Chain A
Amino acid sequence: MATRQRRQLDERSGPGAGGEAGGNALGQLRQRGDELAARAQEIIEDSLSGRSEEFNRANRQTGGE
């Protein structure tokens, strides 16, 4: 999640800044950020072959321009 988004939400959800509503919005955004991060993590782990050094050697490339 963007740092600026977090900062803005922190400010909005601070004392006297909206109370429960601000806190819910922050929580929802954080939850969404965590969901996105978790999905990205799944894709990354799923992409690995489990034999990375072998994969890298097998995909040796000659130089181009």
Chain B
Amino acid sequence: MHERVIGMETEYGFSSLCAGGKPYSRGKALALLMSIAWKRLCSLRGRGMKGLFLENGARVYVDIGDHLEYCTPECTDPWELVRQLLAGDRILAELAGVAVGQDPELASASFFKTNVDYSGARTTWGSHENYLHRASPLNLAAVLVPHLVSRVIYTGAGGFDVGSPGLVFSLSPRVHHLQGVISKESTGRRGIVHSKDESLSSDGYHRLHLICGESLSSHRAAWLKVATTALVVALVEAGIASERGGLKLRGPLGAMEVFSRDTACRERVPLAPGIELTAAQIQRHYLELAEGSLDSPFMPPWAEAICREWRRVLDALDEDPEGLSRTLDWRIKLSLYRDHARRRGFPPERVTAWNDIVAGLETARGKLGKARSGEDDPVPLVDLALSTRSPIRAEVKELDPLLRKAGLAWSELPSFLELRQELFELDMRFGQLGEEGIFQRLDEAGLLEHRVEGVRDIDRARREPPPTSRARLRGETIRRLRRQRKKAESYCDWRCVWDLKRKKRLDLSDPFATEERWSPMPDPDFTDEPPPDICSVRSLPAGLRDLLRVMRHRAFPRLRGRLGT
């Protein structure tokens, strides 16, 4: 049986407030958090990369957009991966709690496992998956696309499409921010498949890096997401699944949008002429390939257990989707949010009717032009609809028949828009880390059925690396060096640990390394690597970057030695 290396990176939403609710500088809060992490967590600084590597083999740093990112260590089974994801949640929640105690101005610091912004900024951040493989990257991408498009029926985080002025529930809100099928970009034109291929390991390996997925709260959903995708990667690597004999969607992005809006999971999308399949049918194609290869040596030892659950969930989605209303993120949310909307007087059909009305209002506002609609500070829809001086009075009157036909009244519009804001707040709080988070509260009340047998000992995973990949050597070495050395004398990245005092480095380029192999460290070259913890060196003028490189290799170690850091 063949082991596979998998890992994940979670970008967290973050909020920091002063007493009274005023914002506390995000940059200042994150710097405080990283400072606390350096002091409290057994770790080494990254070499040539920001942040810290921890004794469990993970990495934590502040990424683009000021999102604190937790990267799990390399795992070889999805149970361990979910353990490490949950360990990351607990580490960050603890850091936030300590930060609030340290700065009297900081009244609250919260992390959110959410994926889209609900303030109007229309931003997104992600949950990234990593799969080490030896397949042809192009062939892998082609085979993966239909799987990634259709898996949203169990991997979707649930939430709302913020591009709509109404309330449109989405199985996977991040989908509406994707703009391509295959793309090398990660902050602009994001693709279903991210074509970056930085293996961070020895030659011969590729690293599939996916950014189309979402952070999930359900352990089962997270476990299935990474496990099923790892099996598809294995099938491609073995030549069982290939572009030639595989499925090909006629419009992958459009299909993903269709599946994301379909809470009944019944919609079909076109593949070849005359062939249309549902998301579950596409998923069964991959499941059946996996089941047919369970005895093959290239399959990981856990494949059979995954296929069993994969089939169970697909059957449930076909026959009894409500049965998953305590298991999958999007199904849990759909049930909660519909119930909340009903209690506010908005059953699903009323929400749909109001969506049509506000879409009409938004279209009318769009025709006003920037000056009259107030692009920088848009005139509220309520004012546009209800004011006798509204610049779209005529268009509002044109909507009256639609309103009456649906049994609605303009006086209800403020309540509908308030419901929209309430549901946005609930969706944000659903993934909040710590005891205030809705998912955690539901779980502790025994209202959910999402746990995976075998995912346990989360607190140990905060300190201990996975036992079966190079992460074990990294973690053990970090622990030993941190205890033995002054902090400035050792550094780390994914492929190496540097012991500057002994002038030796530990080679971790083999992702399955089991023995420490130390070799003399070459004299430091002046490279383009920025000094640790300075985040924006690449934006500096070339002459200043050269000066920083000299300081890094000569002055910084001496300075750090004097400061005892």
Contact = CB atoms under 8 A, between A and B. Distances in A.
Contacts of B247: none
A62 B65 contact: yes
B426 A48 contact: yes
Interface in A6-52: 36-37, 39-41, 43-44, 47-49, 52
Contacts of A59: 13, 15, 112, 118-119, 428
B400 interface: no
A64 B442 contact: no
Contacts, number: 119
Given A3-B320, A58-B119, A64-B124, 5 more contacts: A40-B336, A40-B445, A47-B441, A55-B425, A63-B64
A50 to B, nearest CB: 9
Nearest to A40: B447
B123 A65 contact: no
B421 A56 contact: yes
Closest 3 pairs between A and B when the two form their complex, measured CB to CB = A64-B125, A63-B123, A60-B119
B134 interface: no
Main secondary structure of the interface of A (DSSP, over half): helix
Interface of A: 2-5, 36-37, 39-41, 43-44, 47-49, 52-65
Contact of A47 (B65, B128, B323, B426): B426
B412 interface: no
Interface of B: 11, 13-15, 17, 21, 23, 63-67, 69, 112, 117-121, 123-126, 128, 186-187, 211, 319-320, 322-323, 325, 336, 339-340, 343, 418, 421-422, 424-426, 428-429, 436, 438, 441-442, 445, 447
A43 B441 CA distance: 7
Contacts of A55: 425, 428
Main secondary structure of the interface of B (DSSP, over half): mixed
Nearest to B439: A43
A65 to B, nearest CB: 4
Given A44-B426, A49-B425, A52-B424, A61 B447 contact: no
Nearest to B11: A64
Given A37-B339, A48-B426, A58-B21, A65 B128 contact: yes
A8 to B, nearest CB: 10
A58 B339 contact: no
Nearest to A59: B15
B127 to A, nearest CB: 10
10 contacts: A40-B336, A40-B339, A43-B442, A43-B445, A53-B421, A58-B15, A59-B13, A62-B121, A63-B123, A65-B63
Nearest to A54: B21
A56 B124 contact: no
A57 B428 CA distance: 12
B23 A58 contact: yes
Contact of A40 (B69, B425, B436, B442): B442
A56 B428 contact: yes
Nearest to B13: A61
B152 to A, nearest CB: 19
Given A59-B119, A63-B123, A52 B422 contact: yes
A48 B436 CA distance: 11
A36 B63 contact: no
Nearest to A53: B421
B336 A44 contact: yes
A63 B126 CA distance: 9
B159 to A, nearest CB: 13
A10 to B, nearest CB: 14
A64 B65 contact: yes
A48 to B, nearest CB: 6
A58 B442 CA distance: 25
Contacts of A65: 11, 63-65, 125-126, 128, 186-187, 211
| Best-buried of B17, B126, B422, B438 by chain A (most CB within 10 Å) | B422
Contacts of A56: 118-120, 421, 424-425, 428
Contacts of A49: 425
Contacts of B117: 60-61, 63
Contacts of B118: 56, 59
Nearest to B211: A65
Contacts of B336: 40, 44
A45 to B, nearest CB: 8
A39 B112 CA distance: 23
A15 B275 CA distance: 45
Contacts of B447: 36, 39-40, 43
A58 B428 CA distance: 12
Given A52-B418, A60-B117, A64-B126, A3 B67 contact: no
A52 to B, nearest CB: 4
B23 A47 contact: no
A40 B128 CA distance: 30
Nearest to A39: B445
Contact of A61 (B14, B64, B323, B429): B14
B539 to A, nearest CB: 17
Contacts of A39: 445, 447
B134 to A, nearest CB: 25
A32 B536 CA distance: 56
A58 B418 CA distance: 16
| Best-buried of B69, B126, B187, B447 by chain A (most CB within 10 Å) | B447
Given A47-B441, A56-B118, A56-B428, A62 B319 contact: no
Given A48-B422, A64-B65, A57 B120 contact: yes
Given A40-B336, A40-B442, A43-B445, A61 B123 contact: yes
Nearest to B428: A59
